[in-house]
Amino acid sequence: MKNGVLDRLKRWRPKTTFLLVLVAVISLEATALVQYFFSNDGIRKEAFLRAEGQLDATTAKIMDIVNQVEAAVRNTEWIASWAVENPDSLGAVSLRLVKDNPVIVGSTIAMVPGYYKKKALFSPYYFQEPKTKQVIFKSLATPEYDYPQQEWFKKPIELSSGYWSEPYIDEGGGEILMTTYSVPITDRSGKIAAVLTADVSLDWLTEIIEGVQVYQNSFGLLISRGGQIMVAPSETLIMKKSIMEAAESKANDEDREQFLRLNKALLSGESGTMQIVENGVKNDVYFSSMDKTGWSISVVIPDKEVYKGLRRVSWLVKLMQVLGLSMIILIIRLATKNLHRIQAINKNKERMENELHIGHEIQMSMIPKVFPPFPEREDLDLYASIVPAKEVSGDLYDFYIRDEKLFFCVGDVSGKGVPASLVMSVTRSLFRSISAHETLPDAIVSQMNNSLADMNETNMFVTFFCGVLDMPSGVLNYCNAGHNAPVFLNGKMDVLPVLPNLPLGIIKDMAYKGQEVEFKYDDSLFIYTDGLTEAENLNHEQFGEERMKAMLHPRRSAQEHLQIMQKAVEDFVGGAARSDDLTMLFIHYKNIRPHEQNWKITIHNNLKEMGLLTNFIKDIAKEKKIEESVASNINLAVEEAVSNIINYAYDKDYVGRIDIEAFKHDDSLEFVLKDSGKPFDPTARAEVDTTLKAEERKIGGLGIHLYKSIMDSVSYTRKDNMNILSLIKKI
C-alpha cells in the first residue's frame, strides 16, 4: 500500500508486460517449431514410405507383365528354333504369340540376313490393330525399314540374351507407344538364326503409372533405360523429352545441375530419393529401377502437397498463437488499467488518511484536554479521556465553567469514522454556543436537537448526556438524550436515574425533560460511552456494567479512575480489535465551603423595602470590618440583583418574597438570593456593549452588567421552582 511499492510496480510494469509477451512468444514459437520439425520429419518419412510402397507395388505390377511377356517369349523360343528351318512356318509362330497373349500386340521372327539363301531379309510380322483388335500381317523385310539396323534386332544378338527396347512409337504398325522384347533364336546347330520379338503396348503402363497417385497433384513417371520419359501425366512429355532434354531446357545452372544429377542416378539404375526444384516449386522425386527392362519408375510429389496438411496445421497454430498473444496483451493491459485504478484509489486513500489524521488533530484540539483542567479549584476534580476506534472519533466530551457552573456533556454519534466525526464537531459547537446563554440542560439539549434534526439528511443521531453542576450549591441539572445512564457515586453506586428521551437529531421540536440531583461533598459522577461496557474480547463477551462498577472506588481520583478503567478494558479485550470509540468523563465534587457565619433577610417585591437591604449589607460590612469602598461595591451589586427581582420576578399586583442569605466563607462573602417568581437566568443574558455611543445605548441591562462585573462569581440555578442566584465577592 505504501508509496515505495507502488512506485516499484509502476516502473516494473512496462518491462513486465514486454517480458511476459516475449516469454509467451518464445515458448509458443518453440513449441510450434518442435512440433513442426517433428511433424515435418514424420510427414517426410510417411511420404517416403508411401512413395516406396507405391513404387514397390507398381514395380511388382509392371514386373508381372514383363515376366508374362518374357515367359510367353521363352515358351515360344524352342518352337521358333525349330521353325527357322522352315520359313513358311515362322509367321504362324508370331501369330500364335500375339493371339495367345493379350499384352503382346505384335510379334515377328526376323531372320539374320543371309540365313536363307533365297531370302536376304525375312521378317513376317503380325500385329493387333489397336482399334479393331484384328490381327494383321505385315512384312518388315523392306529396304526402307532395314530391320537388321534396328535396335531390337541388333541388341539381343550382341548380348546373346533377351533385350527390352527403348520405348518408341510404332509408325509402321499401330501408331502406338510400345516397347519390344526381343530374344535371339538359335538353330539346332547353336548358331543365331533369328530374333523373336514381342511388342508390348505401353497403354497399360500408362494406366498403372497413372494409378500412382500418392498425393493429389503427385504423379508417376516411367523412364527408360536411356533416360527417355515413357509415361508421364502429360502425353506431350512422352517420347519428346528425356530427362537430359529437361535438364538442358533449364536456363538456371542450379536447376540444370539437379536434373543432370537425377538423370545420372536414373541411368545408373539406382533407387532412392532426390529433391528437384522447378520454377521455385520443390518436388520430392522417389525413384527405383527395375530388373530386366532397366526402366526406372519415379514418383514426383510436390513438396507443398506433402506438407499441405502440416502447412494448414502450422497456419492454425500461428493463428492460435496470434489469438493467444492478443489475449495475453489484452489481459495485461486490463490488469495494468486496474493497477492504475488501484494506484489512484490508494493515492486517494492515502490523502484521505492524511486528512483524517488532520481531522483527528483538529477534533482533539477542540475538546479540552489539559488536565487537571481547573487546577485552582479545590471543589472539583475532573478528568476525561477519549480513545477513538478509528482515526477520527464519533464520540465527544466537553466541559467548562461559567458563572460557577460546570457545563459538561458526553455524546456518542451513531456510526464511526469521518461522517460521525463531522457530526461530532457540529454537536460540540452547538453545545458551546447554546450553553453560552442557556443554563438549563433540557433547554440546551432541546435547542441542539432542533439544530441537528434540521440538517440531518443522513439520519445520524447522537446520544447525549448534558449536565450543569452548580458548584456552590451542588445541584446538578441534567438532561439525558438516549445516552446510557451515568453512574452516580454517592456513597452507594447508583445508576443515575434518567428519563427515556430520544437521542438528538431524530425528531425536531421534541420536548426534552431535564432532571435534577444534588451533589453532596465527595460525590462523583462517571459518564461514559457504550464503547466501555460493550467492548468485546475474543470470545465476544462484553466488558459489561458489573466489571465497570468493580473498577469504581470512592477514594480514587478522577484521573486514577479513568486510567484504571482504560487498562481494565484493554486487558479484557486482549487481542480483539476495539470496534467503538471509548469516552469517559469523571466528575468528583469536593465542595465543602463550610461557612463561619450566615445572615438572613426577607423582603418583598417592593422597592421601598430596598432600604432594609442596604442596612442589612451595611451591618454585615461593619461586623466583618469590610473596607467601605468594597462594601459599597457589594451593596451596589446586591441592590442591582434584588431590584431586578423586585421589578421583574413577580406580577405587579402579586406580593412575592425575596430571601436573601449572606454567607461568610474563608475568603469570600456570598449572597444567595431566592425568589419564586418567573424563571429568569441573568447569567444567560447577552453582555451589554459598553463601547457604544450614547444615542445607541439601551437604557436597560446595566444592572446585570454591573453586578456581574463587580462580583467574582455569579451563578444561577433553578431548584424547587425557585430562582437561586449566588453572588460571591472575594474579600
Partner 1 sequence: MEVEILKQENSVTAKLIGRLDTIASPEVAKALEPLKEVADKKIILDCSQMEYISSSGLRIFLSLRKEATIKRGTIVVKDINEDIRKVFMITGFLNLFEIA
Q: Is 615 in the site for partner 1 (CB under 8 A)?
A: no
The contact mask relative to partner 1 for 642-681 (x = CB under 8 A, - = no) is -x--------------------------------------
Q: Is 134 in the site for partner 1 (CB under 8 A)?
A: no
Q: Looking only at residues 175 through 194 of this chain, which bind partner 1 when binding is defined by CB under 8 A?
A: none
The contact mask relative to partner 1 for 689-728 (x = CB under 8 A, - = no) is -xxxxxx-x-x--xx-xx--xx------------------
In the bound complex, what is the minimum distance in angstroms from residue 682's beta carbon to partner 1?
Answer: 13
Give first-to-last CA distance, the chain, whole Å: 65
- Closest CA relative to residue 412, chosen from 562, 544, 549, 584: 584
In the bound complex, what is the minimum distance in angstroms from residue 697's beta carbon to partner 1?
Answer: 6
In the bound complex, what is the minimum distance in angstroms from residue 656's beta carbon to partner 1?
Answer: 17
Nearer to partner 1, 467 or 703 (CB): 703
Q: Quick one: which of 60, 320, 330, 607 contacts partner 1 (CB under 8 A)? A: 607
Nearer to partner 1, 367 or 630 (CB): 630
- Closest CA relative to residue 595, chosen from 672, 667, 675, 501: 667
Q: How far apart are CA 500 and CA 24, in angstroms?
A: 71
Q: How far apart are CA 609 and CA 521, in angstroms?
A: 36
Nearer to partner 1, 364 or 692 (CB): 692
Nearer to partner 1, 459 or 691 (CB): 691
DSSP 228: B
Nearer to partner 1, 348 or 647 (CB): 647
In the bound complex, what is the minimum distance in angstroms from residue 600's beta carbon to partner 1?
Answer: 21
Cell of 73: 517369349
| Burial class of residue 34 in the structure, from the number of CB atoms within 10 Å of its CB (0-12 exposed, 13-18 middle, 19+ buried) | exposed
Q: Is 604 in the site for partner 1 (CB under 8 A)?
A: no
Nearer to partner 1, 482 or 703 (CB): 703
C-alpha distances in Å from residue 23, one per residue of 18, 19, 332 = 9, 6, 14
Nearer to partner 1, 73 or 704 (CB): 704
| Counts of helices then strands in the chain (DSSP H, E) | 16, 27
Q: How far apart are CA 515 and CA 43, in angstroms?
A: 102
Per-position DSSP letters for 434-473, written without gaps between them = HHTT---HHHHHHHHHHHHHHT-SS---EEEEEEEEETTT
- Using CB under 8 A, count the residues that bind partner 1: 28
Residue holding cell 493497477?
A: 339
Q: Is the Cβ–Cβ distance between 487 and 493 less than 8 Å?
A: yes
What SS3 class is residue 482? strand
Q: Looking only at residues 629 through 648 of this chain, which bind partner 1 when binding is defined by CB under 8 A?
A: 629, 632-633, 635-636, 639-640, 643
- Closest CA relative to residue 92, chosen from 51, 135, 60: 135
The contact mask relative to partner 1 for 86-125 (x = CB under 8 A, - = no) is ----------------------------------------
Q: Is the Cβ–Cβ distance between 559 and 383 less than 8 Å?
A: yes
Residues that bind partner 1 (CB under 8 A): 607-608, 610-611, 614, 629, 632-633, 635-636, 639-640, 643, 688, 690-695, 697, 699, 702-703, 705-706, 709-710
